[in-house]
Structures are given as structure tokens and as C-alpha cells.
Amino acid sequence: MLAASPASAEPLRWGADSEGGAPFVFSDPKDPRTIVGFEVDLAEALGRELGRTPDFVQNQWDGLIPGLLRGNYDLAMNGLEITPDRQQVIRFSVPYYATSEQLSVRKDESSIRGLADLKGRIAGTLKFSLAQRILDGVGGIEVRSYEGQINAYEDLANGRLDAVLMDWPIAMYYSRPNPALKFTGAPIGHLEYGIGVHPDNAKLLREVDEALLKLIRSGELRRIYDKWSLWNPETDALFSKLVQSPGALQEFTEALSQERSWRERARQYVGYLPLLLGRGATMTLVISVTGMALAVTLGLLLALTYLYGPRPIAWASRAYIEVVRGTPLLIQLYLIFYGLPNIGIRLTPLIAAVTGLGLNYAAYEAENYRAGIQAIPRGQSEAALSLGMTQAQALRHVIVPQALRLVIPPVTNDFIALFKDSSIVSVITMVELTKVYGQLASTYYDYIGVGLLTAAIYFLLGLPFVRLARWAEARMAVDRRIPVPARRRWLGVGSKPAAG
């Protein structure tokens, strides 16, 4: 008999990510203001058993466990796999669902039938998931991780990926209905979902375990899974085990607790360096330097066309600058990476990242150049024209070189900003420094230590560029003190020194 929820009972706050997608927790296509999913039904059933009204709390998936530890909600329930590293940090309920990983490929693909066939190829999955760990453990596979499952399957259909590995329920909802995709190979591995509870809340853990067992015995949990077409042999075997062997509860609910000394932590941090420096920092530098090179070049072109181009081109340049500066970089990256394939343009993650950052920062660099050019006294341009130079020659030899000296400080600041903004490109599957930090932190739940180490790497990587910019400023300041006749000879204005 399900208990009624007393009015005085505290709500049962449970955290999940409604952007994660079906069939877990997602917005109802008929009414986007309402969330649905089999875990929504499960939360409601748990609330009835516990006599508490379920209260959904939105939280990003990779931050569910930190949010639980901060006390943002009572339960974390969003397809969380029960893994030893997570058991070191939080307590898990008895498993409420068991499944496996499913490999998906394009309909015309016949050479991929298992993980071994993926070596030398590109595979996609959800970031920080068990599937990602499986792919990383195989070796020889280029793994691209995604914030949401639908993007991975879209990239697979568009030819950016060779395969996608995700939990079977996700594949059932996003791969099987897609006419361009198909399942391949046997199920991979075994995983069980559990409800996360704060390690200090043993009372709530016992109540949740008891409620889950009641829902299993009454058949309510199976009815929920049948409703969402998720019942499978793995869950059938799991439920039989739980009901027939109550002593197994202890094995599932006991969290592993291992205290580490500072010396052990230091050795662990040293072990992170090859990943942070080799895999993360290198890609961050490549993206930042190439992105800024594009931004500087395009920014100068935009500034010149805005100031000196024909009116239609000048208006187009100004429109570009205002639109790009007025829209978020994240949206621009999504449009470039996920939107362009709809019109037949498919960019690799690296090219999309460089293009997105370069096009975005070009608008800001254009404003820097415009300010620098307009700061040069008009007499400079008039003098160059009076000496027989064309407008283009005056810009090239007189105006732009002086403007470049003026804009070095703001351009340097923009490069440092772009260097840090490169962390955003992780949303389009790029693995750079911040992405590696997130992977390590979410695996070991050490956001402070790994975060400080990553911040130090960012600082040390950016410091040489700051020093280089200051050296360039000082060097150009010396150049400005060179006598005018000498500068004129260098610029090709004339070889005859001025009188006096």
C-alpha cells in the first residue's frame, strides 16, 4: 500500500539534468515546461513510498555528485552508474536498473562489429560516462565525448564519427529509431544504475533501499520500465537477486572509504601531469594561437573595410562586428559545429574550434584596430598622400604600422581572454586542458587539487605571451624614439632628410 504524502513532510529533492535527454529525464515534447522520463516516474513512486513530495532540481550531469555533496538536493538520480570511484565519495542505493553498452554505426557500415574494430577510428560517447572509460581503456581509438547524446548520434549520421558507444537505453531512443543508423555487435559490459545519497545520510539511504525493494516486489518498477520499453533480461536478473538475497544490500550500499596522505596525493597529482600537459595543454596552445592568428588577420581586414571600403562593404563589416559581439560565443560554436552540417558543411572539431574562436575575436580585434587607426593624426595620412603615395600605400607604410604599436596592449589582453575561452570548445568534443581537468576531477572527485594544478598550468602557459607582449611594447617604444628622417627612409617615403 503506497503511503500518502503528509502536508508537513519535507519535499524529496532529487537532482538530475533535464537536458540529458530520453529516456531518463527530459522535457515533454508536447509541453516543454513539463519534465518526463522513467526516472521522473521512479521519483514519484519513491516519493509516495517515503511520504514526501518529489521536488526536481536541475543540475548539469557531470556536476551531480558535487551538487549532492554540497547539499543542493537529497538524491542524485540520472543514470548514475555504480562505480568504485564514485562509491569512495557518495553512498549508492541498491541498483534500480541494469543494462549494458550498445555500439551503433551507420547503416552502410559492415566492418565494425566490436570494440577491436574501432582501433584507428573515431568513436563518440557521453563525457564522464562508463562508456568513455571503456573506449579509453581499449586504446588506439580517437574518443570524442559529448555533453548530450543526440549530438553524438547526429555526428555519426553526418559522417564525423565511425561509431557511438552508449548505454543501451540511450541507444534504444536515439539510435534504433534513426533510419541512417543501426546496432552492431553484442552488448558490451555490464552496468547498474543507483541513486546517489550523501555519505552522512545513512537514514535516508536505508529508507530509499526499503522503498526500492517494495517497488520491485510490488511490480511497480517493472510497470514503469514496461511503459518506457526498457525492461530487459539484465534488470530481470538483478531484481531476482535483490529480492531473493536481501543480504546483498550490504554489498551495494557500503561505500568504499580510503583516506590518502598528502604524500600519496602529491604522487597522484604528478601522475596527472602527462595528461594535463601532453594531451590538454598542447591542444589548448594550438587552438589559441591559430585562433588568434585568424582573429588578428580578419580583424584588420574588417577594420580597413569599415573605415575605407565602399559603403555597402563598410556596412557589411559593421554589421558583422555588431552581430558577433552581440551573441554568445557558445551559440556561435554550436551553429558552426552542429548547424552547418544541415547545409552540407561539416567541419572537424579542431577546425570548428579555431574557426569559432577566430571569427568571434575578429570582431573585437576590428574595434581595436579601428581605434588605433583613428588615433593616428590625420596629418600623417595627408603627408603620405602629398608625397605621391596611394591610399593603400599610405595605410601599409604609414598608418597601419603606427596603429599596430598602439593596439598591442588590448590585442594582448584579448589573446589572454581567448586563451581562457578555449575551454568552451569542449562542448564540440574538443579535448583541451579544461576538458582533461573535468575528466580527472569527475573521476576522482578532487575538484580543488586538480583545479589548482590546472590553473597553475594555464598561468604558466600564458605568462610567456604576456612577457613577449611587454617586450614588443618596449621595443616599439624605442623605435618611436628613432629620428623622423630615419623612420621615413625605412618607410620608403623618401631618402632626403628634412632640413634642420
- Write out pLDDT tens, residues 37-73: 999 999 999 999 999 999 999 888 878 998 899 889 9
pTM for this entry: 0.63
pLDDT at residue number 496:
40
pLDDT for 248 beyond 60: no
Report how far residue 336's alpha carbon sits from residue 325's, in angstroms, rounded to the nearest whole number: 16
Higher local confidence (pLDDT), 132 or 381: 132
pLDDT at residue number 108:
95
pLDDT at residue number 26:
87
- Write out pLDDT tens, residues 419-452: 888 888 877 767 677 777 766 665 555 667 888 8
- Write out pLDDT tens, residues 103-141: 999 999 999 999 999 999 999 999 878 899 899 999 999
pLDDT at residue number 391:
80
- Write out pLDDT tens, residues 383-401: 877 788 888 887 888 888 8
> Across the chain, what does the average pLDDT equal?
84
pLDDT for 32 beyond 90: no
pLDDT at residue number 465:
77
pLDDT at residue number 394:
79
Confidence at 282, pLDDT banded by 50, 70, 90: confident
- Write out pLDDT tens, residues 321-347: 999 999 999 899 989 988 888 888 888
Kindly state the percentage of the chain with pLDDT values over 90: 47
Report how far residue 301's alpha carbon sits from residue 322's, in angstroms, rounded to the nearest whole number: 15
- Write out pLDDT tens, residues 209-228: 999 999 999 999 999 999 99
